[in-house]
Amino acid sequence: MPELPEVETVRRGLSPAMEGVVIEQADVNRPDLRWPFPDRMAERLTGQRVERLRRRSKYILADLSGGETLLIHLGMSGRMTVSGDPLGQFVHEHPAPEKHDHVVFHMANGARVTFNDPRRFGVMDLMPTATAEAHKLLAVLGPEPLGNDFHEQHLIESFRGRNTPVKSALLHQGIVAGLGNIYVCEALYRAGITPRRKAGQISAKRVAALVPVIRQVLQDAIEAGGSSLRDFRQADGELGYFQHRFDVYGREGEACRTPGCSGAIQRITQSGRSSFYCAQCQR
């Protein structure tokens, strides 16, 4: 599933084609994805100007001129692509419709934005912009890891007394929003902390040091255009390249990249997910 860097990359790719532009026509080609679409979704979107395109955790939020916000979650296989942009941001002409093109936005600037989702685990919903943060999917989220509310004291307090492994704690969306399996593995490697260690047993100094590491891992991934695992694509169809720089994720049995370390990357299963780490470098 796309994590924060992938979703931010998609948001940035969509922005030139959608922000400040009217949705001339919205086509909704099926009644649902993971859940049913909101009532009259096509009608409520058609004619609206996208005032702002923003991200909250792993969700893209489009604030509309009519006072509603469109929430988009890509799910396991969802992707959004842009074609026919008159500003020259994208090279693709409008392609022929595909089987899993479930929602299509025809923009007034000539761009077409298509949401394609073969497995239909994605989500779209409409809600009042004024109360968007109270939406059931957003209200439970913790601070953004790249925002000011994610700081050393917040993480120290969140970990205090917690008897779950640090890997699980960092995946808890109420502690920090948007982190997923890949970038938690990478951040713990850079911080030298084993994913096995209980969150409440890590010293405050080491927990505090995790904050800038998490920020840097995410910023590096965003700059690289997100990862290209499974079906992820940027909005213009190009692949992301951060996966070529993974230090531990997916590298089971390969040599650790820490200079002077003779260890190999190991994989364990935690709560049904694979954790990759170096037992020599991460304590």
CATH number of residue 56's parent domain: 3.20.190.10
Active site residue 136: no
CATH of the domain at 259: 1.10.8.50
Tell me the residue range of the domain where 95 lies: 4-134
Do 179 and 127 belong together in one domain? no
Report pLDDT digits (tens) over 59-78: 999 999 999 999 999 998 89
Same domain, 129 and 156: no
Catalytic residue among 162, 196, 198, 273, which?
273
The one catalytic residue in 2, 5, 143, 145 is 2
Q: Provide the percentage of residues in the chain whose pLDDT is more than 90.
A: 82
198 classed as catalytic: no
Asked if residue 146 is part of any domain, the answer here is: no
User: Would you say residue 247 lies in a domain?
Assistant: yes
Residues 170 and 232 placed together within one structural domain of the fold: yes
Which of 102, 134, 166 represents a domain boundary (last residue)?
134
Of residues 230 and 170, which shows the higher confidence score? Answer: 170
Label residue 94 by pLDDT band (50, 70, 90). Answer: confident
Which residues share a beta bridge with 65? Answer: none
Decide: 152 and 208 in contact? Cβ < 8 Å. yes
86 is catalytic: no
Residues 157 and 114 in one domain: no
Q: What does the DSSP 8-state code read for residue 198?
A: B
Note if 273 is an active site residue. yes
Taking only the tens place, the pLDDT of each residue in 152-208 is 999 999 999 999 999 999 999 999 999 999 999 999 999 999 999 999 999 999 999
Residue 34 inside a domain? The answer is yes
First to last CA, the chain: 28
pTM: 0.91
Given the residues 11, 58, 79, 251, the one annotated as active site: 58
Give the model confidence (pLDDT) of 96-145 as tens digits: 889 999 999 999 999 999 999 999 999 999 999 999 999 999 999 999 99
Inside any domain, residue 75: yes
Domain count, the chain: 2
Give the integer Cα–Cα distance in Å for 121 and 95.
Answer: 23
What integer pLDDT is reported at residue 18 of this predicted model?
95
